Amino acid sequence: MRFIDQDAEIIYAPYAEVLEKAAELNAIPFDLPNVEYSHYDDNCTFDYFIKKHKLEDDALSRIAAIVRGADTDRHDFAPQAAGLEAIFSGLSHKILDDQELLSLGLTIYDGLYIWAKKLYNLKHTQAGPVEQLLLQVYQQYLKTDKDKKPPAWAKALKGMIQDQLDTNMALSLQQASDELELNPTYLSREFSKYFDNMSFGEYMRKLRINKAIELMKDKNYALTEIAYLTGFSDQSHFNRTFKKQVGCNPLNHRKNMLK
């Protein structure tokens, strides 16, 4: 099923008039403060739709992390979040007709859903022989360049990340870029060269999971506390990420550790 309500209609109104028009038309306002369909803590309205209507779909959960990151400016939630925000910011600047923008947005989300359902675990370099050849050349270059001294920003960033290990691991790529006075696109592109061949998001998630495993050794910490201390937005996000990286859920892993 493509929609929660097949007959639903989205009505647009100026921001200051939304609640008044909703009452007048017996409509449901959403994505505003102090209404039911809104943001809660680190979760966005998209998360609430899934929770409210009990939509159990792994693909929707993957999309939710992307939308949450784009909607709350926390691009560390999912590596695709910054791209989604950039696409819709650009489209909303160009397309002034709300219905036209909605129609195009539905097409984009259809594509995102198919990716999240069937293609999310494929790397771009799996697309064909040309990409594979480029990857081989790139890897050979890295091997010949592996003894090159890391730049000063890489050392500084390692220090910043180490400091985060004692907090809730909330460092984002944008925050790191601002602190280092580097262009975020440049930092994103160069990051993997000096951090285990991982993207910024992948590396931070790895550190979060490693820290979570250490905290699990202490029986005084509940799993919900560990999720918070390692920077996850909620328990389900923590469980999904942990299982993807470790192969089992946090509860079973802790039981095996304590044995």
Strand partners, 37: 30
Same-domain status, 140 and 111: no
Domain count, the chain: 2
Residue 218 is part of a domain; what is its CATH number?
A: 1.10.10.60
> How far is the first Cα of the chain from the last one, in angstroms, to the nearest whole number?
44
d(CA 30, CA 154): 42
Same-domain status, 164 and 75: no
In a domain, 21, yes or no: yes
Q: Quote the pLDDT of residue 45.
A: 93
Instruction: Report mean pLDDT in 10-residue bins for the chain, 259 residues.
Output: 84 92 94 92 91 92 92 86 91 90 91 89 59 61 59 83 68 83 85 86 86 88 86 82 88 84
Q: Quote the pLDDT of residue 152.
A: 85
Distance of CA 174 to the CA centre of its chain: 13
In a domain, 141, yes or no: yes
Q: Widest CA span of the chain, in angstroms?
A: 69
Same-domain status, 47 and 155: no
Same-domain status, 166 and 240: yes
Q: Which structural domain range is residue 80 located in? A: 15-119
* CA-based nearest residue to 177, from 163, 167, 188: 188
d(CA 230, CA 76): 13
In a domain, 209, yes or no: yes
Same-domain status, 112 and 169: no
Q: Quote the pLDDT of residue 234.
A: 78
Same-domain status, 153 and 232: yes
